[in-house]
Amino acid sequence: SPQGRSKKKSRKHQRFMERRALLEQKGLLSPRHRPSSQGPVAGPEARSMLTKVNGTTAPRCGKVTKPKQVISPSLSPSASPDSIARHHSVLMSQGNGISKGVQTSTPLLRPGKYVAIDCEMVGTGPQGRLSELARCSVVNYEGDVIYDKYVRPELPIVDYRTRWSGITKQHMKSAIPFKAAQAEILKILKDKIVVGHAIHNDFQALKYFHPKDRTRDTSQIPMLKQRAGLPGRASVSLKNLARHLLQKKIQVGCRGHSSVEDAQTAMELYRLVEVQWEMELAHSLPPRPPSPITDPAVDSSQYMDDQYWPIDLMASGL
């Protein structure tokens, strides 16, 4: 019967395997690869079907061990210059250092943390000697324009300074009031690291003071002057730095400066020395204290609300 033949074949195979094992033990026969529980032994053709996963050879049906990934520490939106510099150094040690040109170490730090600003002023007051804001441009880390508006000064314009500012009477027709522009711009600058050239002039025109540890003034960076081969103590214009370091011509012609172009140029210069500058600042600037947590219970503007008064006092007052 078929069942009897099967038992006979099984006993025959068992004796064969026992003899083979004995010959292998005596060294008269080379050991044979045992079949795995997942299928037959892989021959030359089967072994050629192995696949490469993440640079390592592994069978298609086998379990692939995932390689370890080096995860860079991420930065919170409120990261201080210290943590930014430490983040740069960690990334550089992992082989993701700064590359040629203005490319930076990693996109993890960008893009919303940094902006660059430039303002154009006109003359008001006696003989036009008072400088007031007439245009403000803000660009992001990539140089894209995120704000560019003409601003109507609070005092009447005496000198448009068109040769330098590029502002004309025509521009004032579409200008917005200073207070409105100031509110919009300061909302953008809040909690940002702000880049600019001789940036104190821009802040003065905005009637604003930005925290020193979040300000990057390209006119005050010795390493930029060194790269350009210029004296460290010399007062260097944005135009000269752009020509020496970016091979870029700006502020040419008689139509005045472009605040958009100047802001973009300041950001490009910053990105040239970003890693080195941030690391130096991390050692020179004191650590920024954490922002205090506002407790509504001690906020004087809300102190008289019923919710902050004890229930027994409220009951006795009724």
DSSP line for 242-306: HHHHS----S-SSS---HHHHHHHHHHHHHHSHHHHHHHHHHHSPPPPPPPPP-GGG-TTTTTSG
pLDDT score at 21: 82
Regions of the chain with pLDDT less than 50: 35-82, 84-109, 294-318
CA-to-CA separations, 222 to 64, 240, 241, 273, 277, in angstroms, rounded: 52, 14, 12, 10, 10
pLDDT score at 221: 87
Rounded to an integer, what distance in angstroms lies between the CA atom of residue 283 and that of residue 289?
16
Percent share of the chain, pLDDT over 70? 59
CATH class of the domain at 111-284: alpha beta
**227, 249 contact by CB (below 8 A):** no
